[in-house]
């Protein structure tokens, strides 16, 4: 078993909850990393995700190198596109958008990324990426041109997650989408996490300490915070 994934599994087994901050390279320059890292280091953040639905710039490598240097935290790529790969990260969430029926996001981007990944030392973590409707059209929905799962259709979310586990995925990511109006419901998190045995990531629209705790209590193993930290760099201080 690989190292970052192994540590996520071990944390799950011990009931230790994990917290990731999502850095969108489209909104963050390498110059921001020093002060952002100071904020991140004071927070109970365990992982950094880097990626975005629409990013196509050239500073991904620089950003990741500096985030790793300043925070010493594991940096995982969270790509919106097959070209969002850099050797300097520790690993990559190798996403398949299994809630959707667009072959580009189910397998095409993955095929295009495969030979690049073969040459690199990145830890590749196969991940079922499950988009849940959240009250507004999010960038993932717009860019992937897929229909999210209805937020009340817990059965479909559970079946999709289970199929991902049977396909051999190592993680389930329940995603309401960045800036979601409503996060994934605690009922859905609970049903999914009680059904699958692999770790469950939950993100999208979580904007408070209570929101993080609600997700953990429902069974999330790792919570992702993006917009709340982007909009308020003091977010984590305000929560402690
Ligand atoms: C988006 O799950 C992440 O992919 C985080 O969402 O920006 O709403 O925190 P937010």
Both structure tokens of 202: 């939950």
pLDDT, residue 229, reads 96
* For the CA of 78, the nearest atom of ligand 1: 4
Percent over 70 (pLDDT), the chain? 98
What is the atom index within ligand 1 of the atom nearest the CA of 230? 7
Contact status, residue 160 vs residue 147, Cβ threshold 8 Å = no
pLDDT tens for 88-146 read 999 999 999 999 999 999 999 999 999 999 999 999 999 999 999 999 999 999 999 99
**pLDDT tens per residue, range 191-206:** 999 999 999 999 999 9
Report the pLDDT value the prediction gives residue 121, as an integer from 0 to 100: 94
Q: Per DSSP, what are the bridge partners of residue 49?
A: 22, 76
pTM of the model: 0.97
Query: 209 C-alpha to center of ligand 1: Å?
Result: 15
Which protein residue has the closest C-alpha to ligand 1 atom 1? 178
- For ligand 1, atom 9, which residue shows the shortest CA distance? 226
Does pLDDT of 240 surpass 60?
no
Domain boundaries, position 43: 3-239
What pLDDT shows up at residue 2? 59
Q: pLDDT (tens digit, 9 = 90+) per residue, 146-163? A: 999 999 999 999 999 999
Residue 1: pLDDT band with limits 50, 70, 90: very low
Tell me the per-residue pLDDT of 73-86, one tens digit each, with 9 for 90 and over: 999 999 999 999 99
- Of the residues 19, 205, 239, which should be mutated to test ligand 1's pocket, given the most ligand atoms within 8 Å of the CB? 205
Measuring from each residue's beta carbon to the nearest atom of ligand 1, which residues come in under 6 Å?
22, 175, 178-180, 203-206, 224-228
CB 194 within 8 A of CB 186: no
* E strand residue ranges, 98-199: 123-131, 171-175
- Number of separate domains in the chain: 1
* Phi, psi angle pair for 215, to nearest 5°: -65, -45
CA 84 to CA 151: how far, in whole Å? 29
Q: How far, in Å, is the centroid of ligand 1 from the Cα of 178?
A: 4
């Amino acid at each position: 078993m690989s190292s970052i994934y192994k540590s996520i599994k071990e944390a799950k087994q011990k009931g230790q909850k994990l917290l990731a901050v999502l850095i969108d390279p489209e909104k963050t320059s390498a110059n921001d990393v020093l002060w952002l890292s100071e904020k991140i280091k004071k927070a109970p953040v365990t992982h950094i995700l880097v990626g975005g639905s629409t990013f196509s710039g050239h500073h991904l490598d620089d950003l990741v190198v500096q985030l790793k240097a300043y925070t010493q935290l594991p940096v995982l790529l969270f790509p919106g596109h097959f070209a969002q790969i850099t050797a300097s990260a520790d690993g990559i969430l190798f996403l398949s958008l299994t809630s959707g029926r667009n072959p580009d996001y189910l397998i095409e981007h993955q095929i295009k990324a495969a030979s690049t990944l073969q040459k690199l030392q990145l830890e590749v973590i196969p991940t079922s990426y499950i988009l849940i409707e959240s009250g507004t059209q999010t960038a993932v929905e717009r860019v992937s041109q897929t229909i999210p799962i209805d937020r009340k259709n817990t059965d479909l979310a559970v079946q999709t997650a289970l199929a991902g586990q049977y396909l051999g995925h190592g993680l389930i990511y329940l995603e309401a989408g960045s800036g979601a109006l409503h996060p994934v419901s605690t009922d859905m998190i609970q049903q999914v996490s009680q059904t699958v045995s692999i770790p469950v990531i939950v993100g999208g629209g979580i904007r408070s300490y209570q929101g993080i705790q609600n997700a953990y209590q429902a069974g999330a193993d790792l919570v992702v915070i993006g917009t709340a930290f982007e909009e308020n760099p003091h977010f984590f201080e305000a929560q402690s």
